Structure 1
């Protein structure tokens, strides 16, 4: 039976691109009922075994093993997560950025942070194009180990760098609504023409211009998933004990904590707290860790 890649999921249909390179059109498929009985859903990015039906459509018969899986956005087998956040309109949301990073770390993904709308920066920016307010943010995340790019789809700034990092890989573009994900993809893929919308100044966020997940083929052999934007992200697969492992800079200190399973709250001999007090761990990151820990505990109590 043929194998292929799910490149789009929409209204209960899965569009499978055959591994046979001679085939360029995706086959519209339904998933077999066995998946529903097992509580499994095919995802965009899944490699699958499928069968063809008499009407020219098909059925997804088997999902091949996944190398990675994200719940929101729902994609599988991703190599690189491109987290897109705007420098303004809407304002840079660091708590949400850190929440996204928890999810990409938990999924074991390489992550690139992309700060969009460079063209809207104030005239007070430094000669390198980065404002005095933005520079310490970039220094912080790069010191943790996350590469950051300041981009502008309008001016073409940083677009080629992101495109190059996606060569031969499957990536996902994710982030808050209205930050310019579709504009960035339009700049990378000539003729793509994804729908874009203006920011609602009243709400301070964008409208959801992308309504489904779809893999877009790049000329350098890469694939990139455009995903619906959203302003909230829930912790579905991260527990309290595992949360600190998603904060990279905690690792060298957490290993030396007095108690195994230390949550880095008020425990005696906690090296993470000591590192925060000494300035080796940023207060903003530690505070977001505490905020997320409380969210996870509250969610557990509700269920």
Structure 2
């Protein structure tokens, strides 16, 4: 039996929140249903934030209540503070996510506080989640470079990731936020983090701004990482990182993994239909190289 790799589909949250077009709850639900049909089992549904700040994520808890309840599906909501957590808990969401960065500059620009203050903000979230037996996933932005501060020392990434784990996050996703990294630099970050944390609790979240995401995922696989975030059709990016449009496309990650012999549980025909549907809904060209080659055949 081939080794499996876990793909966390972040298109409905990290993807859509950075798209200019606001989708209705019904359109977002159809997107998630397509993803489920394609065999994706770990899906970030939305974000519990004020619609004033992120109108694309409005009514995320309403959306959550419409989702299928199959026991092998894992849906989550991003909850940046206790108010957001309480909204997620009210709809019986089993998993929430919190986020910080390995860069002080980025944290201040992104969430208007220092790294230390960001930990204080979500310490209450993690504690409340423990009491309700809910899982918490942690995100760390700027694992290699920061758009404001430049190169980030691997030790800084390790320290933030380790603190998240020690606080109670079961999984920590390291984000290569602006897509400037190359495999040699990614390798140094993993080497540093793997000295303190098991590979089973670490995930890679790569952006494809400079076309390096798949190369960086390949490098991560060589070092034992088996969890990757991806966004169908390459939706989204980071509004705080100039030019960093495009999370790595789920279709491209699928192609790499399937060609290397890893099991993903993905049905490629349904994946491609999901990709075409969301691209048509958003009236944008897919950023997936694999999808564009597939439909050109």
TM-score, normalising length: structure 1: 0.32
Q: Comparing both structures, which one devotes a greater share of its residues to strand?
A: 1
Structure number with higher relative contact order (C-alpha < 8 Å, ≥ 6 residues apart): 2
Structure label with greater radius of gyration: 1
TM-score, normalising length: structure 2: 0.33
Q: Comparing both structures, which one devotes a greater share of its residues to helix?
A: 2
